[in-house]
């Protein structure tokens, strides 16, 4: 068994929009984040969209929404990170490392631990305490055999990703089903010097290259030292529920030859970048059919465990940060205690679920548009028009209003004064 002592490579870089930066700022992580991210302060260009086959410029997408371009600033937003359409690219592992610096000293991180069970324990009638949660971990002992350990808590918040074990523990009430999207991808982290040697200075610009059932996304991360490349290959010939990934693992070995063959009709720029990808494994892209509920008494889901979608809006991490902000604010309320906490968890779910569900559905269609399977087919003029404001509703959100709405509902229910 591989024992982790720190955050692993975790694949690649991620792109974060204004809503993600807003949530980070509200969580008090804004300054830390600025130290590690490729942040655009003034330049509103977030990413360039090209036709992958011809290299023709389709459009430049800005994170400044049409509405905030008109009004300059959305008045309710915290404003520090948000204005000027800021957006960022960051290395996942660096982000996690830096976030953990903010944890209080009595919070421990256990690596290589597997949560195998979460259950709510009801105190016997007449017993002077509320119900509570048992979280069962398996940890490897010195000789490598797994050892179980049970933690007791007032609540459990599961951020254990798309294959959440905790979500399984909430079944049958919870529902939610993981399915293959019909898309797999090749990923690589390229040295920026090599990328510039291959295609020139334009390697520094984050770019989406579109093609029929294929797409190459290239994002500069690590302060511009690394180019994170993802090359997507899709088969949408079957209905979404019938697409099968026919391998026990989600990552299987592939070859550079296979990868280059899949992008054979793409332009020289695209192929030159792909030739630099050292390990051309195939990563199967899965998504979560939305669960019926996220919360069961003292247990709730957060992030991909609740709403893993396809990555084409570049918004999954932002959704998790939004969840985290809303939940943190609610749990910090003076009326939230061991006995009322289930009501606060439910209020968090009620205010977050619809936006997360919409983001999942919207991201699936974004992937279809990039891969010429959307309503505008390969009409790049129509695609350019669509991208002018397609992501605005995700990027420009009033998270404090969500918290206020949740608190208002708790007030109406008599939970908070």
Interface residues with ligand FAD (CB under 6 A) are: 14-16, 113-115, 159-161, 165, 185, 230, 285, 303-305, 311, 314-318, 320
Three-class SS state of 275: helix
Smallest separation, CB 22 to ligand FAD (Å): 13
* Choice between 115 and 407, CB closer to ligand FAD: 115
Beta bridge partners of 315: none
Smallest separation, CB 413 to ligand FAD (Å): 28
Q: How many other C-beta atoms are found inside a 10 Å radius of the C-beta of residue 36?
A: 17
Smallest separation, CB 281 to ligand FAD (Å): 12
Q: What's the rounded Cα separation, in Å, for the pair 148 and 42?
A: 51
Smallest separation, CB 227 to ligand FAD (Å): 14
DSSP 35: H
* Choice between 99 and 260, CB closer to ligand FAD: 99
* Choice between 91 and 343, CB closer to ligand FAD: 91
* Choice between 9 and 42, CB closer to ligand FAD: 9
Smallest separation, CB 340 to ligand FAD (Å): 26
Contact 340, 330 (CB under 8 A): no
* Cβ-based neighbours of 364, under 8 Å, separated by 6 or more: 181, 287, 309, 310, 312
Burial of residue 23 (CB within 10 Å: 0-12, 13-18, 19+) is buried
Q: What is the token pair recorded at 314?
A: 């570049």
Smallest separation, CB 307 to ligand FAD (Å): 8
Smallest separation, CB 4 to ligand FAD (Å): 9
- The overall longest dimension of the chain from CA atoms, in Å, is 74
* Choice between 219 and 416, CB closer to ligand FAD: 219
* Choice between 65 and 282, CB closer to ligand FAD: 282
Which residue, among 20, 85, 52, 34, has the nearest Cα to 230 in the 3D structure?
52
* Choice between 232 and 266, CB closer to ligand FAD: 232
CA atoms within 13 A on the CB side of 21: 30
Helix count and strand count (H, E) for the chain? 14, 17
């Amino acid at each position: 068994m591989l024992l982790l002592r720190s955050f692993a490579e975790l694949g690649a870089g991620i792109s974060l929009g204004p809503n993600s930066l807003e949530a980070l700022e509200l969580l008090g992580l804004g300054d830390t984040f600025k130290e590690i991210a490729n942040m655009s302060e003034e330049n509103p260009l977030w990413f360039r969209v090209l036709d992958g086959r011809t290299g023709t410029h389709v459009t430049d997408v800005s994170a400044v929404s049409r509405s905030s371009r008109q009004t300059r600033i959305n008045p309710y937003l915290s404003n520090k990170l948000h204005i000027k359409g800021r957006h960022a690219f960051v290395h996942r592992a660096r982000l996690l490392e830096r976030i953990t610096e903010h944890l209080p000293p009595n919070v421990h991180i256990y690596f290589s631990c597997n949560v195998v069970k979460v259950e709510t324990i009801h105190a016997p009638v007449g017993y002077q305490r509320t119900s509570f949660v048992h979280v069962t971990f398996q940890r490897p002992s010195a000789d490598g055999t797994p050892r179980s350990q049970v933690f007791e808590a007032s609540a459990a918040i599961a951020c254990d990703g798309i294959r959440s074990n905790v979500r399984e523990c909430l079944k049958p009430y919870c529902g939610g089903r993981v399915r293959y999207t019909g898309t797999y991808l090749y990923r690589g982290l390229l040295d920026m010097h090599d990328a510039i040697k291959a295609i020139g200075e334009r390697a520094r610009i984050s770019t989406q290259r579109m093609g029929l059932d294929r797409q190459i996304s290239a994002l500069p991360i690590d302060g511009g030292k690394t180019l994170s490349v993802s090359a997507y290959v899709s088969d949408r010939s079957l209905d979404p529920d019938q697409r099968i990934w026919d391998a026990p693992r989600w990552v299987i070995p592939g070859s550079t030859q296979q990868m280059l063959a899949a992008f054979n009709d793409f332009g020289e720029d695209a192929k030159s970048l792909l030739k630099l990808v050292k390990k051309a494994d195939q990563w199967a892209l899965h998504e979560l059919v939305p669960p019926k509920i996220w919360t069961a008494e003292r247990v709730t889901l957060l992030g991909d465990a609740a709403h893993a979608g396809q990555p084409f809006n570049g918004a999954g991490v932002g959704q998790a940060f939004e969840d985290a902000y809303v939940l943190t604010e609610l749990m910090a309320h003076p009326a939230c205690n061991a006995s009322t906490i289930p009501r606060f968890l439910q209020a968090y779910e009620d205010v977050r679920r619809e936006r997360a569900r919409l983001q999942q559905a919207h991201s699936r269609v974004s992937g279809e548009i990039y891969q010429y399977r959307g309503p505008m087919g390969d009409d790049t003029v129509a695609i350019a028009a669509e991208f002018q404001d397609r992501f605005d509703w995700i990027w420009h959100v009033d998270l404090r209003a969500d918290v206020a709405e949740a608190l208002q509902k708790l007030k109406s229910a008599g939970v908070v004064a």
